[in-house]
Each structure stands twice: as C-alpha cells, then as structure tokens.
Structure 1
Amino acid sequence: MLKADLRRQMLARRRALPAGELARRSLLLGKQLFQAFEVARWRWLHVYLPVARQREPDTWPIIHQLWREHPNVQVAVPVVQLDGVHLRHYHLTPDTLLVENRWHIPEPIGASEVALDAFDAVLLPLLAFDELGHRVGYGKGFYDRFLLECRPDVLRIGLSLEPPIERIADAWIGDVPLHACITPERVWRFQ
C-alpha cells in the first residue's frame, strides 16, 4: 500500500475511534512500553505531545508514569520551528508551562533546550507502520530529519493504535526505520 493511501485510511480510522477506545488503547501502549523496555536505564526520553484534534495516541499517561516512578529519566518534547521544517527539543517537567502553536501542538514555554546527543530513546508518532519497521507519518519529514541527527544508538520506538500492514510500497532510503513499534496488543521489533 502507498503512503498517501495509508494516511487517508488511517486518519479516517482514527476519526471513527470513540474517545473511550482511544484512551483505552493509549493506556495499553504505555503498559507495553514499561513492560518491554528497560526504561529506568534511560537518561533522556524524547516524547511527542499528542495533538487532540488528530486523535493521536495520548502520551501523557507515559509522561506522568515516568515522573512518578522514574524521576531519573528526563523527558524532552519537540517544538516545530518557524521555518516549518525543523524541530528543536526542550526539557518537559511537571512545572513546564505549555501553549498550543498554530498547528495545535502543545509547546513548552521557557524550558531549557536539550542537545540532540542526549536522547536514549525517541517515541515516534505515526499513522501506520509495516512489518519491516517503516513508518508513515504526516508526510513532512520532521522525524526523519531529527532521527538522522541523533546518536546512532538512539532507540526509535513507534506508538501505533493499529497493527502493522505487511509492506509500505513506497518506503525509500531517506525513511529512518523503527527499532520497535508498540501497539496495544504487543511490541513489534525490527532489525
């Protein structure tokens, strides 16, 4: 299946998902993360903040669990830059003030910037993924550019509300594959 078709199909499936089911699946994603990965060994975890109107998996339960149970693990979140192409990354704490940007993405205000080489793992938003670890996002390439700038050993973990498709037909060399993808039912590992 082609990325453009997958985007349309998966966005429609998300929109049709009742709020309670979205919340249930989001909680299961967090449960899978903490069971399958040695989170306590990480120093920095990069997490996207969910865009409610896009009905993205809710990462707030993961963030709150980290703050409660693993205070040694620092959390960073992305901020889209004014050029609309690049991301910068900022420390998120329980006291960080958030404001929605023009794309309705929550962004930290007054937080300290985090260097790209700090991250041990990155939780990636996606619309779909395949059995080879390729992902389909919104098509802007933010995360592919970001991941290429991270340390080579950074763990790339997708969060998906749906199981994988067999193959994304138009995956290309510039796509940075996942090491793993978490679904509500299980963790898929690649490479």
Structure 2
Amino acid sequence: MSSIDKAKLRTVYLRKRKMLSSEMSAHIAGRILEQFKLFLTQIQVKNTHVFLPITKQNEINTWLIVDYLLSQHIDTVVSQSKLETNQLIHYLYKNPNQLEHNKWGIPEPVHGTVISEQDIDLVLVPLVVFDRQGHRIGYGKGYYDRFLAGCRPDCLKVGLSMSPPLDIIPYVDTYDIPLDYCITPLKTYHF
C-alpha cells in the first residue's frame, strides 16, 4: 500500500465518520467511554494525555473522557500544536479557560503548566482507521508519531476508534509508532 492508498483510506473513513448522525456519534462516544472506564480498572496511571475533538471531523467526543479522568483525580494533559514545527506542546488541563480554537477548529491550551512527554503515562491517540497489528492512519501530518517517539517506552499508546480494525495496513513507514491498545465501542484490542 502506498501513501496514495493511505490517502484513499483516510478519505473513505473520514467520509463515513462525517455521515454519522449526531445521535449515533453520541452513542458511540458513550460506548467508548464505558470501554475506557473498564480499561482503566486494569492499569495504573497518574496522568493521561487526551486529544480534544475536532468537531468538523466528527471525532469522538473525548470531553466525556476528560470529565471522567478529572472525576477520578487523574491528571489530564492536552496539547497545543506548533504549526511551524509540526510538534505538540503539552499542558496540564485544569479548566476550559485555558483553551482557544486553532485554525483547524481544535481547542488548544494557550497557558498552563507545561508537561514533558517523558512524564506522560498514557496517550489517547486520534486516528482515522487502524489495523489488527496496531498500526493506524491519522490525518497525515505526523504530529502524534513525533510526540509518541519522545515518550517513555512504558507509556501506553491507546487509540480510540469508532469502527473495528482493518485486517492490515501494509504500507507502514519506519517512523510510524504502533499502538499498544485500541478502544472501540464494542471491545478493546491489545497488540
């Protein structure tokens, strides 16, 4: 599979996701939250990095997860995109007053306590589609691959997906960081 094939898969799965009704999207987000709660009972983390949803992409409503983490007194980390370097800066999330929308409509922190990648225990990874080996197709900018490469080896990399996995994404770049788990509405996959 070439990068052109990845682009085609990205387009197809983004289109499918955008076609979901708001009711179905809310139902899926609720199911993913339940799977996430179950997942958290099996591990121990002090903090979790959460991507904030891009509404126009009909991404999973991760605000449900943020609220749950805060209720469990688990530190929540969110990121700001540095467009000039395609990198992320991570901040401890305290409240919505820290956030502003960037040019893609993503809520991002503009101030707060900066958190090192090395201090993050679990990263919830956005994706468009994933496969049974833990490879994923994201939005194609490489933000999360660069971010995950800087995390500790024991940091858990957990995807969130509205749909089940493909059998395989055969074209994988050397810089693509595979997931350890992927949470879907029906089950959690372990790789």
- TM over 0.5: same fold? yes
Deviation at 1:36, TM superposition (A): 2.0
**Secondary structure of 1:41's match?**
coil
Identity of aligned residues (%): 38
Q: Distance in 2 between matches of 1:128 and 1:95?
A: 29
Uncovered stretches (5+) of structure 1, i.e. residues with no partner = none
Q: Deviations over 1:41-86 (max 9, x none)?
A: 2111000000100110010011111112x11x10001110141511
1:1-191 matches, within 5 Å, as 2-38=5-41, 41-68=44-71, 70-71=72-73, 73-94=74-95, 96-190=97-191
Q: Distance in 2 between matches of 1:66 and 1:78?
A: 16
Q: Give the superposed CA RMSD.
A: 1.4
Asked if 2 retains the 8 angstrom alpha-carbon contact of 1:45 and 1:120, the reply is yes
**Secondary structure of 1:61's match?**
helix
Uncovered stretches (5+) of structure 2, i.e. residues with no partner = none
TM-score, length of structure 2 as denominator length = 0.94
Deviation at 1:39, TM superposition (A): 7.2
Size of the aligned set, in residue pairs, is 188
Deviation at 1:5, TM superposition (A): 1.6
**Secondary structure of 1:161's match?**
coil
**Which aligned segments of 4 or more residues in structure 1 are displaced greater than 6 angstroms?**
none
Asked if 2 retains the 8 angstrom alpha-carbon contact of 1:96 and 1:111, the reply is no
TM-score, length of structure 1 as denominator length = 0.94
Residue 130 to residue 86, structure 1, CA distance change in 2 (3 Å): same
Greater CA drift, 82-91 or 114-123: 82-91
Deviation at 1:108, TM superposition (A): 1.6
